[in-house]
Each structure stands twice: as structure tokens, then as C-alpha cells.
């Protein structure tokens, strides 16, 4: 009984299916309809845009807006993290360190010209410093820190970096 029903169903499906034969110009007719509907939409859009004109502000618009702004509002004044006094102090400290290093140069072949003149100045500035301040690592770290701070100062003043 089951096979009979399956055959009947298959027969029914085969009979109900018809192969549709379309005309040769079917796709061109569809495209013409699509083009016509697009033209209608475009005409409607153009007429809508023509009805809506751009509003122009009145002649005294700017003056009205500017007068409505509060006169008490103050602009933000940028205050750097490191003030100018601190920069001057750091430059002075850097110069003192550089002078101290120059005064403590061992005599070498290239510094024989400078050493006699500096020996007079060296007598005025003779004092004992802690060993950590005379280490090359300390001098390099002070130089690197000063260089980075100076670079940061110039970058901020030239507005290369945008910090909002």
C-alpha cells in the first residue's frame, strides 16, 4: 500500500510541474520595468529636493549668537606641568654638572690645552662629593633624563602632539 501511495505522489508531482518557457526578450522587459520605476523614484526625489530649499541665516545671526554668549565665561588657560622656574633650575643644574665634569677631566693628549686654564678655576670649586654623584651611570642617567625632558618641552610647544 505504501508503494502505491509513493507512486501516486510522484505521478502527481510530475504532472503538476510544468517547465516554464520564457520569451527571448524576458530579461530586457524586466530591466525596462526596473529602469522605469527607478526613473519615477528619481523624478520624485528631484521634485522633493526642489521643494526643500536651504535656509539662510539672517544677516545679524552671528552678532545675536555672540551677544547671547556669556561674557563671564573664561577660556581654559594651559598651565604646564613643569613651570618655567623648574626648567631654568634644571638647566642650571645641568650646566653645573657639565662644569664639574669638565673640571674633573683627567689629563689626556687632547685636553692638555684646556687643563692648565681649568686648574685655576678648579681650585675655587674643590669640594668632596659623594661617590654616587661622580659615577658615570649617574651622569648618563642625568643626561638622558634632561634630554627627554627637553625633548618633551619642545614637542609640547611646537604642537606636534595633539593632547585633548
Note down pLDDT in tens along the chain; length 164 residues: 556 677 788 887 777 776 667 778 888 888 999 999 999 999 998 888 888 877 788 888 888 888 777 666 667 778 888 889 999 999 999 998 887 776 666 555 555 655 666 666 666 666 677 777 778 888 899 999 999 999 988 888 876 545 54
φ, ψ of residue 150 in degrees (nearest 5): -65, -45
Is the distance from CB of 152 to CB of 87 less than 8 angstroms?
Answer: no
Query: Vertex 114, ends 113 and 120: CA angle to 5°?
Result: 120
What pLDDT shows up at residue 106? Answer: 59
Cell for 132? 654616587
What pLDDT shows up at residue 125? Answer: 62
What pLDDT shows up at residue 132? Answer: 78
What pLDDT shows up at residue 112? Answer: 60
What pLDDT shows up at residue 94? Answer: 92
d(CA 31, CA 95): 83
d(CA 6, CA 13): 11
Nearest-10 Cα torsion for 7, 12, 14, 20: -170
Is the distance from CB of 98 to CB of 143 less than 8 angstroms?
Answer: no
What pLDDT shows up at residue 135? Answer: 84
What pLDDT shows up at residue 136? Answer: 85
Q: Residue 20: left (phi > 0), alpha (psi -120 to 50), or beta? A: beta
Amino acid at each position: 500500500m505504501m508503494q502505491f501511495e509513493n507512486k501516486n505522489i510522484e505521478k502527481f508531482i510530475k504532472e503538476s510541474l510544468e517547465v516554464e518557457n520564457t520569451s527571448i526578450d524576458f530579461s530586457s522587459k524586466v530591466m525596462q520595468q526596473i529602469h522605469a520605476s527607478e526613473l519615477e523614484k528619481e523624478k520624485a526625489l528631484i521634485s522633493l529636493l526642489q521643494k526643500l530649499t536651504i535656509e539662510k541665516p539672517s544677516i545679524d545671526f552671528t552678532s545675536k549668537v555672540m551677544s547671547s554668549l556669556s561674557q563671564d565665561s573664561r577660556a581654559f588657560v594651559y598651565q604646564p606641568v613643569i613651570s618655567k622656574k623648574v626648567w631654568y633650575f634644571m638647566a642650571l643644574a645641568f650646566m653645573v654638572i657639565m662644569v664639574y665634569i669638565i673640571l674633573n677631566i683627567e689629563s689626556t693628549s687632547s685636553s692638555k690645552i684646556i687643563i692648565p686654564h681649568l686648574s685655576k678655576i678648579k681650585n675655587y670649586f674643590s669640594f668632596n662629593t659623594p661617590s654616587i654623584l661622580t659615577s658615570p651611570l649617574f651622569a648618563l642617567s642625568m643626561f638622558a633624563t634632561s634630554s627627554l625632558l627637553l625633548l618633551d618641552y619642545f614637542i609640547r610647544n611646537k604642537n606636534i602632539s595633539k593632547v585633548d
